[in-house]
Amino acid sequence: MEIKSNVSLLPYNTFGIDVKCRSFVDVQSVDEFLELQSNKVFQDNQRLILGGGSNLLFTKDFDGLVVKNTMMGIEIVKDEKTYVLVKANAGVVWHEFVLWCIEKGFAGVENLSLIPGQVGASPMQNIGAYGVEIKDVCASVEAIHLLTGERVTFTNNECAFGYRESVFKHKYAGEFMITSVTFCLTKEPHFKIDYGDIKQTLADMQVFDLTLKAVSDAVIKIRSSKLPNPKVLGNAGSFFKNPVVSHQKAEELLNRNPVMPNYPVQDGVKIPAGWLIEQCGWKGKVVGHTGAHKSQALVLVNYGNATGNEIYQLALDIKQSVLDKFGVEINPEVNVV
Ligand code: FAD
Ligand code: EPU
């Protein structure tokens, strides 16, 4: 394990922001992490745990230690007639984990195909797409306390998952390094294809016998048609969360905008932030080196050489214009550092 100094974070964030960190270390195992904890550089600096860097916006150099988690390995820890428990270490690339499950015939994560990032970050914001969230398949999360070194297992309930929320994002923000996640996956799939365009895409693909692979391929096809590939155009997916407004507010908005998409949820009505942003005229608009993507206004992009502050300023301007036009506050999903 080597602690490096003054390292560029450009290859480590999908926005493609060119900043540096004071120190950088790659941690491949729990033992290595425990060794790191007794190192002065770890003890004397603020720390940032890094996965695939696909949900981060760096606005300045990071004056501390970046700990990149590269703990690899996937293991079946319980194999029952109808289900399996699979433990994946934090450094495993999320989409590779999904493909591994599909190959083995383990169902539950196929709708979450092609989400960038690593397994370790998946519980952080309870990643979700196409009608499925991590909370639906997460049995437990294993983590180490950054200061005490205590190893803690959080049950699904203890993770307090919500829409793009968990205990790791708020109550215990910055306190733990997630080392592995254990998933409960079924051997008899319950396909979830009612969300969005999945059914239509399967029909277009002439799929008549549903398989995990077919559902995954359909999700990949839909995602590739609207979300920019970060390898081509820097971005971090949805910049904002979709706001949830009261029933009264939704009714008021619908009276003025009858075509506004809206989805009733437990605590109100969810409005797509992408729609609100598009209505404010931002979709496809280029501002300096940045802008809101032409196919999905919720995705802010780096057209090359944008600074984190430039993107953050655009996000603030967008947020303000949505507030002015609709009286709705939209808040970032992306972690701004
Ligand atoms: P990072 O960006 O490296 O880190 C994110 C946060 O988690 C940071 O605060 C970091 O400190 C913390 N963290 C990372 N690893 C650990 C760990 N092991 N222990 C403790 N803390 C940790 N998200 C969705 O939910 N649904 C989508 O459909 C979706 N689509 C996307 C599409 C694109 C094109 C892109 C670029 C992003 C998309 N995202 C989506 C967002 C992103 O992929 C997810 O949030 C992903 O889980 C981030 O993983 P990461 O490893 O890159 O985390
Ligand atoms: N819309 C617009 N204009 C836009 C974008 C969207 O009018 O520019 C409308 C669409 O027409 C549709 C609605 O908004 O009626 C929803 O759009 P979409 O299906 O693209 O999904 P989203 O709500 O924008 C969410 C997640 C995505 C996830 C998809 C699929 C959030 C913040 N985003 O996007 O997650 O992949 O649903 O489930 O919840 C991410 O978190 O980074 C992410 C990409």
Q: How far apart are CA 203 and CA 226, in angstroms?
A: 19
Domain with 53 in it: 3-69
CA torsion sign for 182, 141, 9, 147 is negative
Domain membership of residue 201 (yes or no) is no
For residue 240, give the CATH number of its domain.
3.90.78.10
- Give the pLDDT score at 224: 95
Q: How far apart are CA 239 and CA 227, in angstroms?
A: 12
- Give the pLDDT score at 256: 95
**Contact predicate 263/196, CB 8 Å:** no
Give buried/exposed letters for 42-67 (b at 16+ CB in 10 A, else e). Answer: beebebbbbbbbbbbbbbeebebbbb
- Give the pLDDT score at 329: 98
Render pLDDT for 122-152 as a digit per residue (tens, 0 to 9). 999 999 999 999 999 999 999 999 999 999 9
Cα–ligand 1 centroid distance for 291 (angstroms):
21
Cα–ligand 2 centroid distance for 274 (angstroms):
6
Kindly state whether residues 113 and 134 are assigned to the same domain: yes
For residue 308, what is the DSSP state? H
Q: How far apart are CA 333 and CA 237, in angstroms?
A: 9
| DSSP states along 121-141 | GTTTTT-EETTEEGGGTEEEE
What pLDDT band is residue 287 in, cutting at 50, 70 and 90? very high
Kindly state whether residues 38 and 94 are assigned to the same domain: no
Kindly state whether residues 19 and 117 are assigned to the same domain: no
- Give the pLDDT score at 158: 98
Number of domains the chain is built from: 3
Render pLDDT for 234-252 as a digit per residue (tens, 0 to 9). 999 999 999 999 999 999 9
For residue 155, give the CATH number of its domain.
3.30.465.10
> Where is the domain boundary, 69, 90, 117?
69
Kindly state whether residues 327 and 261 are assigned to the same domain: yes
Residue whose Cα lies nearest atom 9 of ligand 2: it is 275
Q: In sequence order, what E strands does the chain have?
A: 4-8, 20-27, 47-50, 56-57, 62-69, 74-79, 83-89, 128-129, 132-133, 138-145, 151-155, 176-186, 234-238, 244-245, 263-265, 268-270, 286-287, 290-292, 299-302, 335-336
Amino acid at 38: S
Pocket of ligand 1 (CB under 6 A): 14, 48-56, 69, 90, 115-118, 120-122, 124-125, 127-129, 176-178, 227, 230, 235-237, 335
pLDDT average, residue stretch 69-81: 98
Render pLDDT for 46-65 as a digit per residue (tens, 0 to 9). 999 999 999 999 999 999 99
CA torsion sign for 314, 333, 168, 16 is negative
Q: How far apart are the first and last CA of the chain?
A: 25
Domain membership of residue 218 (yes or no) is no
Mean pLDDT of the chain: 97
pLDDT average, residue stretch 87-109: 98
Domain membership of residue 111 (yes or no) is yes
Pocket of ligand 2 (CB under 6 A): 129-130, 196, 226, 237-238, 241-242, 261, 272, 274-275, 278, 283, 296-298, 333
Domain membership of residue 47 (yes or no) is yes
Identify the nearest ligand to the CA of 227 by its number: 1
Residue whose Cα lies nearest atom 46 of ligand 1: it is 117
Residue whose Cα lies nearest atom 1 of ligand 1: it is 53
- Give the pLDDT score at 208: 87
Kindly state whether residues 24 and 91 are assigned to the same domain: no
Identify the nearest ligand to the CA of 124 by its number: 1
Cα–ligand 1 centroid distance for 157 (angstroms):
21
Map tokens 């209505």 to a residue: 279
For residue 16, give the CATH number of its domain.
3.30.43.10
Identify the nearest ligand to the CA of 197 by its number: 2
Q: How far apart are CA 178 and CA 276, in angstroms?
A: 35
CA-based nearest residue to 49, from 187, 172, 154, 153? 172
Q: Which residues are catalytic?
A: 164, 238, 333
For residue 230, what is the DSSP state? T
Residue whose Cα lies nearest atom 21 of ligand 2: it is 272
Q: In what order do the strands lie in the sheet with 4-8?
A: 4-8, 20-27, 62-69, 47-50
Domain membership of residue 193 (yes or no) is no
- Give the pLDDT score at 196: 87
pLDDT average, residue stretch 320-336: 97
Residue 246 sits at the vertex; the CA angle it makes with 244 and 252, to the nearest 5 degrees, is 110
pTM score:
0.97
How many percent of the chain have pLDDT more than 70?
A: 100
Residue 23 sits at the vertex; the CA angle it makes with 20 and 29, to the nearest 5 degrees, is 120
Domain membership of residue 228 (yes or no) is no
